[in-house]
Amino acid sequence: MTDSTDRYRAPALDKGLDILELLSEQPHGLTRAEIVKAMGRSPSEIYRMLERLVSRHYVTRSAEGDRYALSLKLFVLAHRHPPLDRLVARALPAMDAFAKAAEQSCHLGIYDRGNIAIVAQVSSPARVVLSIRLGSRVSLVGTGSGHVLLAFQTPQRRAEMLASHEVMDGEAPVAAAKLERTLGAVRTLGYWQGDSLQSFGVIDISMPVIGPGGSALGVLTCPYIRRIDRYVAPDIEATRELLQQQVRKLSLE
């Protein structure tokens, strides 16, 4: 661990989390000896921690008493507050802060059945507003949002997403080689910025909301509109920086 993450260590908590993560990969559980060997810790340390996890119902012990497995408690806890609700609840304050500072609208999209669903949207406080309807579905391969979401996935997951893609109304075909070049450029740059593929005069800025594994959980997009009157608003470079600041707060890297 780096110095910054090591500063506030809680060894007992780390030990318990290590056991939970280890058991999460074992569909049939492990014996205490197997856990001790896998973790490289003393049997007494593991015994005490396992007993606490069993007593708190995070881990179950087989009837024979020699094998430990995860219970359903973590599943139950996670579904008391569904992941999508958690993401949207965390994203909305950040999106609102961005919209006010940049005077631009923004929306949050997630992968959904081969394309992208818009699950949160905040409008610009300016008089002229460009926004997308909440609940809309947009193309996985024909939008900046889609390019970012695809770019920040494992190769296997990206292939699965593309295999499930369904062509949407108005979507222009994209050659596989061209799409791969685009995704490579997005990965290198860290975001997408370019003319909207749906609306003239709009520049889309899209950035990934990164999860613990390094893949994109969602994508935050600003359909940037440049003002041409005398009113001074943040330019596109300042807007991109403001969006990046909020995306960093939401990401779990």
pLDDT in tens, 74-129: 877 776 767 888 899 999 999 999 999 999 999 999 999 899 999 999 999 988 88
Domain ranges (residues) in the chain: 3-77, 81-250
Mean pLDDT in the chain?
90
Q: Report the DSSP beta bridge partners of residue 61.
A: 68
The pLDDT score that the predictor gives to residue 79 is 65
Q: Report the DSSP beta bridge partners of residue 121.
A: 107
State in words which class domain 81-250 has. alpha beta
**Which residues are within 8 A (CB) of 121 and not within 5 positions of it... i.e. 6 or more apart?**
105, 106, 107, 108, 131, 132, 133, 134
Q: Report the DSSP beta bridge partners of residue 30.
A: 68
The model's confidence at residue 64, banded by pLDDT at 50, 70 and 90, is confident
Q: What are the pLDDT digits (tens) for 1-11?
A: 445 556 777 88
253 pLDDT exceeds 70? no
The model's confidence at residue 245, banded by pLDDT at 50, 70 and 90, is very high
- What is the share, in percent, of the chain residues with pLDDT greater than 90? 68
> Is 81-250 in the same CATH topology as 3-77?
no
Q: What are the pLDDT digits (tens) for 167-207?
A: 988 888 889 999 999 999 999 999 999 998 888 889 999 99
The pLDDT score that the predictor gives to residue 194 is 94
23 pLDDT exceeds 60? yes
The pLDDT score that the predictor gives to residue 1 is 47
The pLDDT score that the predictor gives to residue 9 is 79
3-77, CATH topology level: Arc Repressor Mutant, subunit A (1.10.10)
Measured in residues, the chain has a length of 253
Q: Which amino acid makes up residue 180?
A: E
Q: From CA 114, how far away is CA 158, in angstroms rounded? A: 11
242 pLDDT exceeds 70? yes
Residue 104, exposed/middle/buried by CB under 10 A (0-12, 13-18, 19+)? buried
